[in-house]
Chain A
Amino acid sequence: MVEELGKTTEGDLIINVGPQHPATHGVLHLVITLNGETIKNVEPHLGYIHRSIEKMSESLTYRQFIYVTSRMDYLSAHINNHACAMCVEKGLQIEVPERAQVIRVIMDELTRIASHELWWGAMAMDLGALTPFFYAFRERETINEIMEETCGARLTMNYMVPGGVLQDLHPDFQRKVKEFIQLYKRKIHEYDELVTGNIIFQNRMKGVGYLSPEDAVSYGCSGPVTRGSGVSSDIRKHYPYEIYDKLEFDEILETGCDSFARYLVRIREMEQSVRIIEQLIDNIPEGDYQAKTKAVLKLPKGEFYQRVETARGELGVYIVSEGGTTPYRIKYRSPGFSNLSVLNKIATGSKLGDLVAMMGTLDLVIPDIDR
């Protein structure tokens, strides 16, 4: 607190937004220094939802620790689990069956769409439009139903295991996903009609929250936040994992560098995810859904790192193994933490009312920041 007080001059106002605040999508605590209505400094205070997931993982075996990561970035739980499973596979040098790889990629992309849908609804709600939230949840509900049928849960699936996936696909899976794609294509124009083209929305977003490409790189941002500034950063393109190198999809880049550019990146990313699913859904190869693994997994001594592209950016899983059944140390490089650090940069000098819009475009999930 003393540090913030040092920066203030007479007439400045320090206010706390959060930890319990409806606009922060979670328990994020921001200490904001204001001069009138202009933001002078934003300092995020973390620790309110710290559950020491990294420390917890050290006492769990390589099969068990994966479920905890669903609770980090709960909106892209599949992709978190995927990263962990792949890191363990890297250590054990397991060859994942092709069927499992395809299932994993389809699930990842469905999760990405679901995550972006929720973001879109919440983004519009941040700016005062409540209706889009329900429209977004209508499509997201379809994905949740697909997940419920195949994985058995709607949000924290724990479907990826070292060697493949936990269960085979539900017989209705392909039909349901095709139905979803039909529904999605029928409804996607509504998003543009309701929100993207809306003049109030555009005025609130354009020119707000300027993040230069240099800053985006130097603050370590990833995902749609950097791509909104025109920096190519898609892990799926640059460091392809699973079968992404065989798929046709575009990396979305916008050069607006403002909130609206980041908004457009996510909207168009959803279409690319649908494109990926369309390529795969009719071509799921037959075979095993899980490779044969030992009952007790022991990673060889060494260090293993695996990165994936979640809905929010780059997630890195770093495992240090001493050769035992539990990891010696686990470190997660979460996208939300780096993306949050840029908030002070883009918010300084703008008005307090725009802060919520900027936070919305960063797509912060607080449990991901605060592990």
Chain B
Amino acid sequence: MFLKDYIKEVYGAVKSLIVGMRRTGYYFTHHKEIITEQYPDNRATLKLADRFKGEVVMPHNENNEHRCTGCTACELACPNGTIKVVTKFDITPEGKKKKAIDKLVYHLELCTMCNLCVTACPSDAIKMAQTFEHSVYDRNKLTKILNNPGSKIMEGVE
């Protein structure tokens, strides 16, 4: 009996190895199953999901106008102090003072892409962009000013 069990065990062991090898051999000969993406080479065709959180941007329209009112909701919502809103006072044609943003400073190096600023914004002024290649040689380049120079607030956004 001892010998029979021994042979049975050896047979089972060899069989288990062959079963595994057959699976590996299957993929060796079936190249259709390969799913690897050749990343730097496929940059032209690479498309990320629409909601992918790459960095915060402020969309401007063709007249160089944005929707930011300078309410600092994003600054308060941010857990890391990534966003700093610098405001100024514009003089309206009626002679009244009106709050507007001077610049919206965004520290990409601190950002964790948690999307809280975008959801906090009451006027949809900022959104997440799908860019992800953020490496630069100088870390100062990661501090960005989101509003374009000379931009102003869109008509009708309060």
* Contact call B19/A63, Cβ cutoff below 8 A: no
Residue B48, interface by CB 8 Å: yes
Residue B61, interface by CB 8 Å: no
Q: Which bracket fits the contact residues of A?
A: 20 to 34
| B-contacting residues, A14-70, CB 8 Å | 60, 63-65, 67-68
Contacts of B128 in A (CB 8 A): 152
* Contact call A138/B35, Cβ cutoff below 8 A: yes
Segment of A93-101, A192-200, A229-237 in the binding face: A192-200
Interface mask (A112-126 → B, CB under 8 Å = 1, otherwise 0) = 000000000000000
Residue B143, interface by CB 8 Å: no
Residue A156, interface by CB 8 Å: yes
Min CB–CB distance B23 → chain A (angstroms): 5
Interface mask (A143-168 → B, CB under 8 Å = 1, otherwise 0) = 00100111111001010010000110
* Contact call A63/B49, Cβ cutoff below 8 A: no
* Contact call A152/B51, Cβ cutoff below 8 A: yes
Interface mask (A241-256 → B, CB under 8 Å = 1, otherwise 0) = 0000000000000000
Residue B7, interface by CB 8 Å: no
* Contact call B23/A153, Cβ cutoff below 8 A: no
Min CB–CB distance B135 → chain A (angstroms): 18
**Which of B23, B24, B78, B113 lies at the interface centre, i.e. has the most chain A CB atoms within 10 A of its CB?**
B23
The answer for the CA separation of A165 and B12 in the assembled complex, in Å, is: 50
Min CB–CB distance A144 → chain B (angstroms): 11
Segment of B38-46, B84-92, B93-101, B114-122 in the binding face: B114-122
Min CB–CB distance B8 → chain A (angstroms): 12
Min CB–CB distance B17 → chain A (angstroms): 7
Partner of B51, one of A167, A195, A199: A167
Contacts of A64 in B (CB 8 A): 77-79, 116
Partner of B52, one of A68, A148, A161, A190: A148
Q: What total count of A-B pairs have CB within 8 Å?
A: 67
* Contact call A152/B53, Cβ cutoff below 8 A: yes
Min CB–CB distance A134 → chain B (angstroms): 9
The answer for the CA separation of A197 and B51 in the assembled complex, in Å, is: 41
* Contact call A194/B51, Cβ cutoff below 8 A: no
Contacts of B35 in A (CB 8 A): 138, 141
Residue B1, interface by CB 8 Å: no
The answer for the CA separation of A237 and B20 in the assembled complex, in Å, is: 36
The answer for the CA separation of A195 and B19 in the assembled complex, in Å, is: 10
Interface mask (A67-100 → B, CB under 8 Å = 1, otherwise 0) = 1100000000000000000000000000000000
The answer for the CA separation of A98 and B119 in the assembled complex, in Å, is: 21
Residue B140, interface by CB 8 Å: no
Residue A279, interface by CB 8 Å: no
Residue B63, interface by CB 8 Å: no
* Contact call B116/A63, Cβ cutoff below 8 A: yes
Residue B13, interface by CB 8 Å: yes
* Contact call B77/A63, Cβ cutoff below 8 A: yes
Residue B16, interface by CB 8 Å: yes
Contacts of A195 in B (CB 8 A): 20
Whether A194 touches B20, Cβ cut-off 8 Å, given contacts A68-B79, A152-B115, is yes
Residue A170, interface by CB 8 Å: yes
Contacts of B48 in A (CB 8 A): 148
The answer for the CA separation of A153 and B13 in the assembled complex, in Å, is: 43
Partner of B79, one of A65, A145, A152: A65
The answer for the CA separation of A166 and B49 in the assembled complex, in Å, is: 16
Interface mask (B103-117 → A, CB under 8 Å = 1, otherwise 0) = 000000000111110
* Contact call A199/B79, Cβ cutoff below 8 A: no
The answer for the CA separation of A145 and B24 in the assembled complex, in Å, is: 25
* Contact call A193/B19, Cβ cutoff below 8 A: yes
Interface mask (B46-90 → A, CB under 8 Å = 1, otherwise 0) = 001111110000000000000000000000011100000000000
* Contact call B114/A67, Cβ cutoff below 8 A: yes
* Contact call B49/A67, Cβ cutoff below 8 A: no
Whether A199 touches B115, Cβ cut-off 8 Å, given contacts A60-B79, A141-B35, A148-B49, is no
A-B contact pairs, 26 of them (CB 8 A): A63-B116, A64-B77, A65-B79, A67-B116, A145-B49, A148-B49, A148-B52, A149-B50, A152-B49, A152-B53, A152-B115, A152-B128, A153-B113, A156-B112, A166-B115, A170-B49, A190-B23, A193-B20, A193-B23, A194-B20, A197-B16, A197-B19, A197-B20, A198-B17, A199-B12, A199-B13
Other A-B contacts than A152-B115, A153-B53, 20 sampled, CB-CB below 8 A, are A67-B79, A68-B79, A131-B24, A141-B35, A148-B48, A148-B49, A148-B51, A149-B50, A149-B51, A150-B51, A152-B51, A156-B112, A158-B114, A161-B119, A167-B51, A190-B23, A193-B19, A194-B24, A199-B13, A199-B16
Residues in chain B within 8 A of chain A (CB atoms): 12-13, 16-17, 19-20, 22-24, 35, 48-53, 77-79, 112-116, 119, 128
Closest A-B pairs by Cβ, 8 of them: A64-B79, A199-B13, A152-B51, A67-B114, A152-B53, A149-B49, A158-B114, A199-B16
